[in-house]
Amino acid sequence: MISQKKGQASIEAALVLPILVAFIGLIFLFFASTRSYFWAQYQLHEAIICLQDQTQFRCKTQLKSKFNKSLTFWKAERIQLFEGNSFRSGKMHLSFRFIQSINLEIEKRIYNE
């Protein structure tokens, strides 16, 4: 009777453990991609502020290099920085590296004082 319970426990563990590991992996993926999204917003904001002192090309190059060094799950495909009379803005198109159907568009605008 005891050996049957041990066998039952190991079968239950074999069935539940992969589901538990997958669930923990999904939670990690969610938090990592959420962190990446907020980091990308911050870096786009910094690139727009960079337009005050430097050229568009330099700010865009700095933004791309920061992306390549830091983000693991996302890649920046299109980065556009604009400078108008009363505002500066930026737009960035991100795609998820592992699932190509997940895309994200970030747009930010800062008005001059």
pLDDT for 103 equals: 65
pLDDT for 4 equals: 62
- Please name the residue that has the structure tokens 């980065």: 79
pLDDT for 87 equals: 82
pLDDT tens for the chain, 113 residues long, are 555 666 788 888 888 999 999 999 999 888 887 887 788 888 888 888 888 888 889 988 888 888 877 777 777 778 888 888 888 888 888 777 776 656 667 777 778 76
Contact 79, 71 (CB under 8 A): no
pLDDT for 43 equals: 87
pLDDT for 25 equals: 92
Strand partners, 110: 88
> In the sheet that 87-96 helps form, which strands lie side by side, from edge to edge?
74-83, 87-96, 103-111
pLDDT for 100 equals: 63
pTM over 0.75: no
Complete DSSP assignment for 44-91: HHHHHHHTTTS-HHHHHHHHHHHHHHH-SSEEEEEEEEEE-SSEEEEE
Strands 103-111 vs 74-83: parallel, antiparallel or unpaired? unpaired
Contact 47, 70 (CB under 8 A): no
